Amino acid sequence: MKRFTQGSVHQVIKCKAAIIWETGKPFSIEEVEVPAPRAHEIRVKIVATGICRSDEHVIHGLLSGSEFPIILGHEAAGIVESVGEGVTGVKPGDKVIPLFMPQCGKCVYCRNPNTNMCVNCSIGKSEEPKDRIVTFMCKGKQIHRMSNISTFSEYTILHESAFAKIDAKAPLDRVCLIGCAFSTGYGSAVNTAKVQPGSTCAVFGLGGVGLSVIIGCKVAGAAQIIAVDLNKTKFAKAKELGATDCISPHDYDKPIHEVLTEMTNGGVDYSFECIGRTDSMVGALQSSNFGFGTTVIVGVAPSTDKMAIDPMLMLTGRTLKGAFFGGWKSKDWIPKLVSDSIAKKFSLDELVTHTLPFEKINEGFELLRAGKSIRTILTF
Ligand code: COD
Ligand code: ZN
Ligand code: ZN
């Protein structure tokens, strides 16, 4: 008889997961039930998962479309446990990275070479796909998912469009960062902005995402990379990764875009907003040069906030762009980024400041809130 499925595909798994029961509440570690993968799904054992500012935004209800109770987490790496019918190219034991930006390969966006959006993507939509009524259950309640991947759980279900198989040699406690912060920042520089050798860049916000933009600007050959943050403890790491200058808006009695314009004789060639504030987005645009400056919005602002800009900034030739996940078509590119990291084209080590056991997830979020961490990796 032909076998369609592999692994413990018919069994429900009981495992630990971190649940946010209500807006603003801490995580509670609970036992959850993870169903068997159905057709076109796999079940994955998460090995390492990073803490991102976007998870924190969801806790506080700042990103639209999230419902509670919810299992967060979207920056992870794991090992395939079982494979549902119809999924090809992956088997139990393979290493994978879950994709919060999926790539179905068939939709109008996937077929367009100029975007990495996919019709299956949950951003800006209700979180739970209509055909998956139950994913996680806890205490008789259905638990919602973040971006259809929910990696703050020992096991999770992934649709075949929402994972990338990666090199068996990949260190999962590092390449998990390729699932969000690294790819988002690095791709914003090399794909979305297409930073040119010898150019000038300004990076607003030096979290895991902003520091990854700096790595991208450096790899692209930028001559000057100016890092901007209110928290000066972030400057040492920014310099280590390639920033040539570090400035804090607190040290000046004029707007930061005026400081950047003076420092670069008319404005930077590329600016990146990696904070998620609309005022910084406008500041980044104002810092870019007249004629051909390009600004990339990387951070997600609270869904109620709006940007107001002087249209003259655009009429004089500036370009304002934005992209999720650094513009990478995820399923195609993640395996290549993992290979580049194994080949040491860039290093992920500098982005990891803390590693904690999964049970200490609340401690990990406290480090983020206190501005003490770049990335905390939780391990199971
Ligand atoms: N001026 C200068 N710096 C500031 C300011 C300010 N007014 N306010 C905060 N900062 C600094 C902070 O000190 C901190 O160093 C940095 O900005 C932000 O870093 P983190 O560590 O809080 O955040 P990251 O790097 O994890 O992520 C921030 C984003 C806003 C980029 C992130 O939340 C996001 O939106 N990601 C990209 C979009 C995306 O793809 N989202 C989907 C999954 S994340
Ligand atoms: Zn993220
Ligand atoms: Zn698609």
For ligand 1, pick from 274, 330, 368 the residue to mutate: most ligand atoms within 8 Å of CB.
274
Atom of ligand 1 nearest to the CA of 248: 2
- Report the alpha-carbon distance of residue 208 to residue 69 in Å, rounded: 27
For 26-63, what is each residue's pLDDT tens digit?
A: 999 999 999 999 999 999 999 999 999 999 999 998 87
Q: Which of 176, 180, 201, 217 is catalytic?
A: 180
Catalytic status, residue 180: yes
**C-beta of 277 in contact with ligand 1 (< 6 A):** yes
pLDDT digits (tens, 9 = 90+) for 279-307: 999 999 999 999 999 999 999 988 889 99
- The terminus-to-terminus CA distance of the chain in angstroms comes to 37
Q: What percent of the chain has pLDDT over 70?
A: 94
pLDDT at 160: 96
Domain spans of the chain, in order of start:
1-17+80-165, 184-326
pLDDT of residue 129: 52
Determine if ligand 1 sits within 6 Å of the CB of residue 63: no
The residues placing their C-beta within 5 Å of ligand 2, an ion, are 52, 54, 180
The per-residue pLDDT for 278 is 97
Q: Which residues of the chain have pLDDT under 70?
A: 1-9, 124-134
Question: Does the structural domain 1-17+80-165 have CATH classification 3.90.180.10?
Answer: yes
Q: Which CATH class is domain 184-326?
A: alpha beta
Active site residue 354: no
Residue 150 is among the residues annotated as catalytic for this protein: no
203 touches ligand 1 (CB under 6 Å): no
- Of ligand 1's atoms, which has the minimum distance to the CA of residue 184? 40
Distance between CA 292 and CA 60 in Å, rounded?
A: 38
Does 53 sit in the ligand 1 pocket, CB within 6 Å?
A: yes
* Amino acid sitting at position 294: T
Task: Give residue 54 CA to ligand 2 midpoint distance, Å.
Answer: 5
Residue 239 Cα to ligand 1 middle (Å): 18
Determine the atom of ligand 1 nearest the C-alpha atom of 325: 40
Would you call 74 a catalytic residue per the annotation?
yes
- CA distances 121 to 36, 161, 176, 212, 279, Å, are 22, 10, 20, 23, 27
Per-residue confidence (pLDDT) for residue 3, from 0 to 100: 44
Give the pLDDT of residue 10: 72
Q: 182 alpha carbon to ligand 3 midpoint, in Å?
A: 22
Span from the CA of 357 to the centroid of ligand 1 (angstroms): 24
pLDDT of residue 1: 35
Q: Is 161 a catalytic residue?
A: no
- Specify the ligand 1 atom closest to the Cα of 123: 42
Q: Indicate which atom in ligand 1 lies nearest the CA of residue 228.
A: 2
What pLDDT is recorded for position 125?
57
DSSP labels, 143-167: EEESTTT--SBSEEEEEGGGEEE--
Cβ contact 202:268 at 8 Å:
yes
Residue 121 is predicted with a pLDDT of 86
Distance 121 CA to ligand 3 centre (A): 8
What is residue 304's predicted lDDT score, i.e. its pLDDT?
87
Residue 131: the pLDDT is: 52
Nearest residue by C-alpha to atom 3 in ligand 1: 229
CA of 53 to the centre of ligand 1 (A): 6
The DSSP annotation for 67-127 comes to -SSEE----EEEEEEEE-TT--S--TT-EEEE-SS---SSSTTTT-TT----TT--TTS-S
For ligand 1, say whether the CB of 326 is within 6 Å of any of its atoms: no
75 lines ligand 1 (CB under 6 A): no
pLDDT, residue 221, reads 98
- Residue 122 has what pLDDT? 76
